């Protein structure tokens, strides 16, 4: 992913309440969302769902949950865990059903009509969520149960759920006065619309850029796959006989890595880093500034000095200072390494007689050249061994060896696009676990990046286990001509990463939907995904799945050795550009005044403060930083490196025993993957590992120690 993740859960069931007339009987009868799905495993009937179904289903789902909430709030029986907390958690089934499908497709298969529906739905859902969280009758009942918690015979999961609901109501404004609550509603509605607008702008900016080349001389240095992909993109866009390069990563990255045309590399990179910053109808500067200001105002209303304090109160980090401490601990060694990498590149430029200073659009090319010179390795040597189907099956095989689970492709299950593949996941004894959709190729209707989400979360209801329906979505290299999809090493790691998130959703074994699967603190959720990346490049695993797409030949040990030796290469760049984005996120969200800023000046000051070198651009500039202004990672982009401390330490548990030790795997499954958010994450980690993690394994992995 995520590396981006989209989670609409049962607390998404707290997204509700808008007084609209119910749908007509005719729409009710024809609308698939009005009843439980009758497909295999009750997956969404994508073949029956149309855009016209969404609004009536949202309205009806809101009305149904309003009735359920009213019943809870007016219950004459004394508040109990069952009749208040559990009843709340299972309310809104229809609204959850339509929300899960709709919001997944707004990311994976959107269009103008869906975007218009999203703009119409956003304020309805914001109002509905506020109506629930600001209902004094509900809060009184929740508070009564919460204050009795020490006298109740509750399981650990029930204690966590009760604390979560009480805190959600407080953080949702339940203790505010009428005037403050009214302002909070206005802020929440405005933020819901602004976040949508921000994401729509980035998507349109991605799709609007194209660099059309009509001379073969402009293709100098590019590998055959990049040229073929550009020719195919040109045909699709009506530029027959030419070549088109876009901002989708499978087009952008190879161009920056291999193109010998410096002015064209500059054009591509500037096209990428200027998205949302063109002072036109898609400009995001005012949008993001308003988002940041409104977040400060909301945090202040709720008693927090900054938005980061508000968000981190729910995460492992707890306080902004703890995040800054971790980032600063890594920043100096990473920056020192990046400076050395820049010097090495400048020396190569000078030795070649380049007579120019290294710029950000040169970094990818010269990194590739130095890697080739130093390790005799480049991405194009590896691609033939990373056929997409083999990589995916390699990830599946790792899960089978660790947890005994199996994956069987199903062709009888509805899917929303022809690129999608569907797999049934089973225990070793054949027991059904869940359904996994994979959707790996870029298209104009899909936002950038990679992520995992759920169409249905695992839960238990009325004694029955409801199995999950999970999706992995990405923007990986697609098949070209008669060649299958061949991935770069980075894309291979991305596939393993998102599959780790999928396992977290699939292997969930919880009772309550609010706590199941990936419903964990943001800085813990990346542990299951990042630990999976470790297996991807282990020699034993590489030999099992990395086979030449034409000959079936196993990847040579010589190449495996080169991958290992090059693992520290360019880590200064990779760490610095990521940490810079993490600092930028935290700087935006530790503002204490609710006033709009000049985003470009603010960003420049943020990068100057940490000393970002001019040869490197922050991984995400503010106008297209979807993670924090449109996704769920505000004050949370640091979580990838926070979780890497955990995953580097956790993987050592396997290295200390064996790569596929079943006892270690079972402990990881029980305490991490299956446990969802049922307990404090550090307590769960310690139960698995026996101790809190040390940063030493991360420093060693990155070559800083």
Distance between CA atoms of residues 494 and 436, nearest Å:
17
Report how far residue 163's alpha carbon sits from residue 185's, in angstroms, rounded to the nearest whole number. 23
In whole angstroms, what is the distance from residue 703 CA to residue 689 CA? Answer: 24
- Which residue, among 103, 169, 93, has the nearest Cα to 137 in the 3D structure? 169
| 63 noted as active-site residue | no
Question: What are the CA-CA distances from residue 606 to residues 434, 552, 584 (Å)?
Answer: 45, 50, 6
Residue 8: closest CA among 125, 124, 116, 123? 125
Q: Which of 498, 533, 538, 577 is catalytic?
A: 498
How many Å apart are CA 701 and CA 534, to the nearest integer? 11
Q: How many H helices and E strands in the chain?
A: 28, 9
Q: What are phi and psi of 470, to 5 degrees?
A: -115, 150
DSSP state letter for 483:
B
SS3 sequence, 582-628?
A: HHHHHHHHCCCCCCCCCHHHHHHHHHHHHCCCCCCCCCCCHHHCHHH
Task: Name the residue among 439, 436, 469 with its Cα closest to residue 109.
Answer: 439
d(CA 705, CA 701): 8
Nearest to 381 by CA among 391, 371, 393, 390: 371
- Please enumerate in sequence order all residues whose Cβ is within 8 A of that of 576, keeping only pairs 6 or more positions apart, or say none: 331, 334, 335, 338, 612, 613, 616
- Say how far apart CA 521 and CA 311 lie, in whole Å: 10
Tell me which residues are annotated as active site.
498
């Amino acid at each position: 992913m995520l590396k981006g993740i989209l989670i609409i859960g049962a607390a998404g069931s707290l997204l509700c309440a808008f007084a609209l007339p119910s749908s007509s009987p005719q729409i009710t009868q024809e609308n698939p969302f009005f009843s439980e799905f009758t497909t295999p495993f009750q997956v969404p009937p994508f073949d029956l769902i149309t855009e016209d179904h969404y609004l009536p289903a949202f309205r009806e789902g809101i009305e149904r949950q309003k009735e359920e909430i009213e019943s809870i709030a007016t219950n004459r029986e004394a508040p109990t865990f069952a009749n208040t907390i559990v009843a709340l958690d299972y309310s809104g089934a229809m609204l959850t059903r339509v929300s899960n499908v709709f919001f997944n497709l707004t990311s994976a298969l959107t269009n103008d009509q869906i975007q218009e529906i999203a703009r119409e739905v956003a304020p309805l859902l914001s109002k509905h969520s506020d109506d629930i969280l600001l209902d004094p009758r509900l809060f009184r009942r929740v508070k009564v149960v919460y204050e009795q918690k020490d006298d109740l015979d509750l399981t650990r999961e029930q204690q966590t759920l009760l604390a979560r609901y009480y805190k959600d109501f407080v953080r949702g404004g339940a203790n505010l006065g009428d005037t403050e609550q009214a302002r909070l509603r206005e802020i929440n509605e405005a933020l819901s619309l602004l976040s949508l607008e921000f994401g729509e702008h980035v998507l349109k900016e991605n799709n609007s850029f194209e660099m059309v080349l009509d001379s073969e001389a402009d293709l100098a240095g590019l590998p055959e796959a990049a040229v073929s992909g550009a020719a195919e993109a040109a045909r699709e866009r009506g530029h027959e006989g030419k070549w088109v390069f876009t901002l989708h990563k499978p087009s952008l990255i190879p161009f920056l890595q291999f193109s010998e045309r410096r002015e064209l590399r500059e054009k591509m990179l500037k096209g990428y880093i200027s998205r949302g910053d063109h002072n036109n109808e898609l400009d995001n500067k005012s949008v993001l500034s308003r988002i940041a200001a409104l977040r400060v105002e909301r945090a202040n209303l709720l008693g927090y000095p900054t938005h980061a304090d508000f968000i981190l109160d729910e995460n492992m980090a707890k306080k902004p200072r703890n995040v800054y401490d971790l980032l600063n601990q890594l920043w100096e060694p990473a920056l020192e390494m990046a400076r050395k990498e820049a010097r090495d590149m400048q020396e190569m430029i000078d030795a070649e007689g380049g007579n120019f200073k290294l710029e950000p659009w040169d970094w990818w090319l010269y990194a590739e050249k130095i890697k080739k010179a130093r390790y005799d390795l480049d991405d194009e040597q590896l691609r033939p061994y990373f056929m997409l189907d083999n990589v995916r099956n390699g990830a599946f095989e790792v899960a089978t060896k660790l947890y005994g689970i199996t994956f069987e492709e199903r062709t009888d299950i509805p899917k929303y696009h022809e690129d999608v593949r569907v797999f049934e996941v089973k225990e070793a004894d054949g027991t059904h676990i869940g359904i996994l959709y994979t959707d790996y190729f870029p298209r104009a209707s899909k936002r950038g990046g990679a992520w995992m989400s759920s169409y249905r979360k695992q839960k238990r209801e009325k004694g029955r286990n409801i199995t999950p329906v999970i999706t992995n979505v990405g923007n990986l290299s697609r098949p070209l001509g008669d060649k299958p999809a061949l991935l770069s090493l980075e894309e291979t790691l991305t596939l393993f990463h998102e599959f780790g998130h999928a396992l977290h959703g699939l292997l969930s074994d919880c009772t309550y939907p609010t706590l199941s699967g990936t419903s964990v603190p943001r800085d813990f959720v990346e542990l299951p995904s990042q630990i999976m990346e470790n297996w991807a490049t282990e020699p034993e695993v590489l030999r099992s799945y990395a086979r030449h797409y034409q000959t079936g030949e196993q990847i040579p040990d010589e190449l495996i050795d080169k991958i290992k030796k090059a693992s520290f290469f360019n880590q200064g760049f990779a760490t610095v550009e990521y940490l810079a984005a993490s600092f930028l996120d935290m700087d935006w969200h530790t503002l204490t005044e609710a006033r709009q800023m000049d985003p470009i000046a603010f960003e420049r000051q943020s990068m100057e403060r940490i000393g970002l070198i001019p040869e490197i651009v922050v991984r995400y500039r503010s106008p297209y930083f979807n993670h924090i202004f449109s996704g769920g990672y505000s004050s949370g982009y640091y979580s990838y490196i926070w979780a890497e401390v955990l995953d580097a330490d956790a993987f050592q548990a396997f290295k200390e025993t064996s790569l596929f030790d079943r006892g270690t795997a079972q402990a990881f499954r029980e305490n991490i993957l299956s446990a969802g958010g049922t307990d404090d994450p550090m307590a769960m980690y310690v139960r698995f590992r026996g101790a809190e993690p040390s940063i030493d394994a991360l420093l060693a992995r990155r070559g800083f120690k």
